[in-house]
Structure 1
Amino acid sequence: MNRTTLTLVAAVASAATMVATAAVQPPPASSLGNAIVVQDQAVLRAAPRESAQQQSALWQGEVLEVRGERLDYLQVWDHKRERGGFIRTSEVRRVAEGEAEAPALLSVLRFVRDTPGAEALGIGITAAYLQAAPAKALAGEQGAQAFDALGTLADRLARRASAATPGKASGATLSAHLDVANGYGVRFTTYEVEGRMQVCYDGEAFRRVLAMPVADAEQRARAALALTRPECVNPDLPAHERARVQEWQSEVLERVDVAGLPSYVRNRIQMRRASVWSALAFQQARKDAAGPASAAAASRALAEFAGVAKNDLPDEDQPAYNDAAMRVSAVRWALAPASLPPAQGSRPGIVTEAGAPGETCVLLVDAQKGAKAPLLRRCTYGVVWAGSASINREGTAVSLAVQPLEGWRELWVMRKTAEGWLVDVLPPAATAPETGVAEWAGWVPGGQQMLVAREARGQGRYRRSFEIVRLEGLATERVTGDVAALPLFQRWQDPAWKRQTLSLR
């Protein structure tokens, strides 16, 4: 691939991702075009014989300059390694220069795009197509197809690399494929998450798809979904920068018209919108839990989730559906009036006050002494959802939803003991916080038990349960995944909870 042609691609198609490191010196007069390696570990030999010394192992997608033919071998020059040699003709695909080659390359690209394991080869073919295609084609539907294919291939390669097992033979192959992609200027970012590496494509090709008026709805949907992957948001971003990223993601998703999409693709867009808007609701609540901005974002998240057609969900989309449900459920209290129950007679009440910067303190008070001498005081940097507060009939227990993290909402249980009032935190699961919700579902008369619904994903596992919890020690007495299997739960579940919860979806 000569520098003149690559410069043309950059100027006409704005394909800056394909320019920098793939450029080589102009070929000599003896050049016979280029060849793309089509299989892994193709051998570059010193002579056109099987017994000749091996110069190096090549990987699919790598480009070689052809300088001659001998027997069933091509004499080539590898600009990346700065060495020449011979390679079998069957292990490469020759690419002629000129616009006449473009249609054939695009046809091959359409096939390779959907072939798992052929991502590096597809990226090499995309580069060849961008070289050969005229400017008019690159600005039209064919150009949109090429950039869509490039983004799809790069994103799938990143997913494969993230899921690879360290030390396995496949890891070496993936590393080589990533190196080939980097050689074409395709860029990836990596993050360490819980001891493993998350590899993400930077999305340049998808951004170009969204900027092209000729891109169709499905191409835009694929681009938007790839650009808004939650696992590809830098986990080390400060809160204010993370909020800006989420605002940008919401804008990207708004650029997709879901009306003409297949139902399963429309579901994916709406689930992603629900997740992004729930994150925005949490960020707004951190500034002002009772503000209209948080309620508006939560309302939009709930509306998008409600629009998902559950019967049209493929099996592979079920985890995303459950995650979206938990994220929306975590902020659903933003839609409730932010009123705290006052102390009346022997029944305690709740008030909140500011603590350290960014901190909210919850005070459990009685009717006589009030906030000056609270029965209990506990502070948090999380969002205290005031509208969730509930007191049992006996006045001996109080539940309150507190959300310390995006997509993770805990249940505070304040209970009266012989030594005074205590508060315990009931998390969605006994794992490192990922995605989950623990919510109060009702009080059992007698002041000894409460109903709890929990849903969480952690350590690669998903679980949803309905529990009868004893207030003393918060020990779970009975638990099931089917609410109908617990008669006590069926009888005493709170009507408002049953009407509003997403756990019964």
Structure 2
Amino acid sequence: MAITTLASLATATALSSAIITQNPVALRSAPRDSANQQATLWQGEVVEVRGTRMDYLQVYDYKRERAGYIRADQVRMTKFESAEAPELLSVIRYVHDVSGAETLGIALAAAYIKAAPADEVNGSHGTEVLESIGYFADKLARRASSAATLSKSAATTLSAQLDVAAQYGIKFKSYELANGVQICYDGEAYRQVLAMKATSLQIANAALSLTKPECMDPSLQPIARTQTDMWRLDVLAHVNTTDLPVFLKNRVEMRRAMILSNLAYARSRLQTAPEALKLSGINTAAAALAQQSIRAFASVNKNELPDDDLPLYNDTAILVNANRLAAQPLSVADKHDHNTLALLTSGGQPGETCVSLTDGQHDLKTPLAAKCTYGLVWENSVSINRERNALVVAVQPMQGWREMWVFRKENHGWVLSVLPPAATSPLLGYIEFAGWVPGGKQMLVARESRGEGKYKHNFEVVNLDALNIERQASDPTILGPFQRWQDPVWKNTTLSVR
């Protein structure tokens, strides 16, 4: 969205121009309410004023190439002169938080850019106006994304406002999702803000808008998605959180934590050869990213979170925790002791990892149990109970969704069961091993997920025979087994307790 594009729609005339301030406005053939309606004008559109009659303005609409009359109290007059700039800026600030007035705000911003002197447009006031354009466009996009819930009249008005915004060079992107359509502003005004001398608050607002996860193209392939995440991380690097209000700093750190976690997962996916992981003990690039994501999340001040940000805080915790195993080193000694129960990985079909349970009498060719997956097998999560009748490993089939595979010894041999985070469509969630209860009959599990409009966060005591939940609570301190038998590694590294 270039400034010239905005200005081109507001050419000064011998008299003046008028910005439509209401929705809708009738363009009539005569200066009377009973006259025929020539067209319907919408908030933010600009018409040329050619005269006055009674309480009507005689105007010409260049877009529709039609003349007519509109009521004088339905417009704001302007000649786009520099003397008007301070007043226009004041009105933009007033309209900033008026719901439904986004196109009016965009039109006023366009008028300011044309009216104000060049040094003012390139200065702090110009930066403020550009940020306002981005803010108005963002609000309009959010309203458009929820258009399915609007009445027919409101939907018509919204559609017209999107068309008016497009006349000012505002561009939107739309993405088809399972639960509807996501409309997003392309962020050009915010990009200009980042290129200008802006305040920390303005940069933070611009960066948060440009890096919204819901506005990433869901059809992107993994490499393109990783490149986009790297760009998003670079955008957030412009933000100096020192001078920001704590609640806004929290939002920046949560966004940074999510992006770093995404990159840690993507980097872990590149580690396709199990031998390479065995040799190094850890994927150092993925580990560094995962550790940074955990530190970013840890820097969030939970006591300074507005109520509206609590779901975002929980979603960030789920995502970071689902991918945190990238930062956990591999226990090489346990993996290579082939005289005892062990879990080994090998390649299967292209892209597959096969998991085999072995012991002194059973190797990869004749395993006790085996299963192949296209998911990411976190070998550093393997844990065997003291009785040697159960083993667990974390497997992540997709970003932000981590399952747990449970190998159990039964009378007829070993069986494998897959425990998902929740019985919903995969969105965000993890289930993780939290400890073994002595006796070989129970294990401790932490589970957190969001899907199909529901959020769940539980700590559970699970029966190993049937894998059913015997006891559960939202606070682990309520459960006696968690107080006595929780795994120390889990306790020190998990984000499920926060």
TM-score > 0.5 by shorter chain: yes
SS of corresponding position for 1:157? helix
1:296 counterpart = 2:280: no
In 1, Cα distance between equivalents of 2:219 and 2:416:
31
Is residue 315 of structure 2 the alignment partner of residue 327 of structure 1? no
Instruction: For 2:412 and 2:126, locate their aligned partners in 1 and report how far apart those are by CA, in whole Å.
Output: 73
Question: 1:437 and 2:424 equivalent?
Answer: no
Shift of 1:155: 0.8
Map of 2:380 onto structure 1: 387
The structural deviation recorded for 1:411 is 1.2
* Contact persistence 2:253–2:299 (CA under 8 A): yes
Judged with a 3 Å threshold, the aligned counterparts in structure 2 of structure 1 residues 350 and 16 are, in CA distance, closer, same or farther, namely farther
- Structure 1 runs of 4+ with >6 Å offset: none
Which residue among 169, 174, 193 is the counterpart of 1:209? 193
Q: Which residue of 2 aligns with 1:271?
A: 254
Give 1:346-425 correspondences, 5 Å limit: 347-425=340-418
Task: Give the counterpart of 1:312 among 299, 304, 316.
Answer: 304
Q: Does residue 261 of the first structure (1) align with residue 244 of the second (2)?
A: yes
In the alignment, the residues of structure 1 paired with residue 453 and residue 29 of structure 2 have an alpha-carbon distance, to the nearest angstrom, of 49
In structure 1, the residue corresponding to 2:38 is in which secondary structure? strand
Give the letter for the 1:284 counterpart: R
| 1:129 alignment partner, one of 100, 112, 126 | 112
Q: Is the 8 A contact 2:358 2:364 kept in 1?
A: yes
Q: Partners in 2 of 1:77 and 1:187 — Cα distance?
A: 26
The amino acid of 1:18's aligned partner reads L
Cα offset for 1:459? 1.5
Task: State the SS of the aligned residue for 2:106.
Answer: helix
Residue 175 of structure 2 is aligned to residue 183 of structure 1: no
| Residue matched to 2:31 | 48
Q: Is the 8 A contact 2:200 2:241 kept in 1?
A: yes
> Which residue identity is paired with 1:459?
E
- Structure 2 Cα separation of the partners of residues 75 and 244 of structure 1: 53
Equivalent residues of 2:353, 2:377 under 8 A apart: yes
Q: Which amino acid aligns with 1:219?
A: Q
- AA aligned to 2:100 is G
SS in 2 for 1:432: coil
Give TM-score scaled by structure 1 length.
0.92
Q: Give the Å deviation of 1:347.
A: 4.5
Q: CA deviation at 1:345?
A: 8.3
- Tell me if the contact between 1:338 and 1:385 (Cα under 8 Å) persists in the aligned partners: no
Larger mean Cα displacement after TM superposition, 245-254 or 287-296: 287-296
Q: Take 2:26 and 2:81, find their aligned partners in 1: how far apart are those partners?
A: 28
CA–CA separation in structure 2 for the residues paired with 1:345 and 1:245: 43
SS of 1:175's partner is helix
* Secondary structure of the structure 1 residue equivalent to 2:335: coil
**Residue 472 of structure 1, CA deviation:** 2.7
Name the structure 2 match of 1:3: none
Q: Spell out, residue by residue over 1:233-267, the C-alpha distance to the aligned partner (whole angstroms, 9 max, x if none).
A: 01110000000000000000011111111111111
Q: Whole-Å Cα distance in 2 between the matches of residues 390 and 328 of structure 1?
A: 21
The Cα shift of 1:369 comes to: 2.8
Q: Distance in 2 between matches of 1:454 and 1:15?
A: 51
1:47-126 mapped onto 2 (5 Å cutoff):
47-126=30-109
Counterpart of 1:474 (choices 467, 472, 476) is 467
Shift, 1:439, TM fit: 0.8
- Give the CA deviation at 1:200: 0.5
Residue in 1 aligned with 2:16? 33
- How is 1:165-244 mapped onto 2 (pairs within 5 angstroms)? 165-166=148-149, 168-169=151-152, 170-212=154-196, 214-244=197-227
Q: Structure 1 stretches of 5 or more lacking a match?
A: 1-9
Equivalent position SS for 1:372: coil
The C-alpha deviation readout for 1:271-316, integer Å capped at 9, x for no partner, is 1000000000001000127321100100110111111111111111
Mapped to 2, the partners of 1:158 and 1:37 lie a distance apart of 21
For structure 2, which runs of at least 5 residues remain unmatched after alignment?
272-276
Secondary structure of 1:371's partner? coil
Residues in 2 aligned to 1:17 and 1:416: alpha-carbon distance in whole angstroms: 70
1:283 aligns with 2:275: no
User: How far did 1:167 drift?
Assistant: 5.8
Indicate conservation of the 8 Å contact 2:9/2:46, yes or no.
no
The answer to whether the Cα contact below 8 Å between 1:39 and 1:60 also exists between their aligned partners in 2 is: yes
- What is the aligned partner in structure 1 of residue 478 from structure 2? 485
| Distance apart, 1:112 and its partner CA | 1.2
1-structure distance, mates of 2:78, 2:421: 57
Is contact 1:73–1:89 with CA below 8 Å preserved after alignment?
Answer: yes
Structure-2 separation of matches of 1:141 and 1:359: 55
Q: Report the counterpart of residue 494 of structure 2 in structure 1.
A: 501
Partner residue of 1:146?
129
Work out whether residues 436 and 457 of structure 1, in 8 Å CA contact, stay in contact via their aligned partners in 2: yes
Measure, in 1, the Cα distance between the counterparts of 2:328 and 2:299. 21
Letter in 2 for 1:63: V
Output the CA distance in 1 between the equivalents of 2:262 and 2:156.
Answer: 37
Give the Cα separation in 2 of the matches to 1:17 and 1:97: 15
- Report what 1:463 is aligned to: 456
2:329 to 322, 326, 337: 337
| Kept after mapping to 2: 8 A contact 1:344/1:367 | no
1:344 to partner: Cα distance: 5.8
AA partner of residue 181 (structure 2): M
Deviates more, 1:262-271 or 1:175-184: 175-184
Which amino acid in structure 2 is aligned with residue 324 of structure 1? T
Report the residue type matching 1:178 in the other structure.
L
Per-residue Cα deviation, 1:174-201 (whole angstroms, up to 9, x for no partner):
2221111111110000001114000100
**8 Å contact from structure 1 (residues 18, 186) kept in 2:** no
For residues 446-457 of structure 1, the aligned pairs below 5 Å read: 446-457=439-450
How many equivalent pairs are there? Answer: 487
- Once residues 436 and 315 of structure 2 are traced to their aligned partners in structure 1, the CA distance between those partners, rounded to angstroms, is 27
Q: Could you give the per-residue CA deviations for residues 307-345 of structure 1, whole angstroms, max 9, x where no partner exists?
A: 111111111111111111111111211121123633768
Aligned to 2:274: none
Cα displacement (A) at 1:65:
1.2
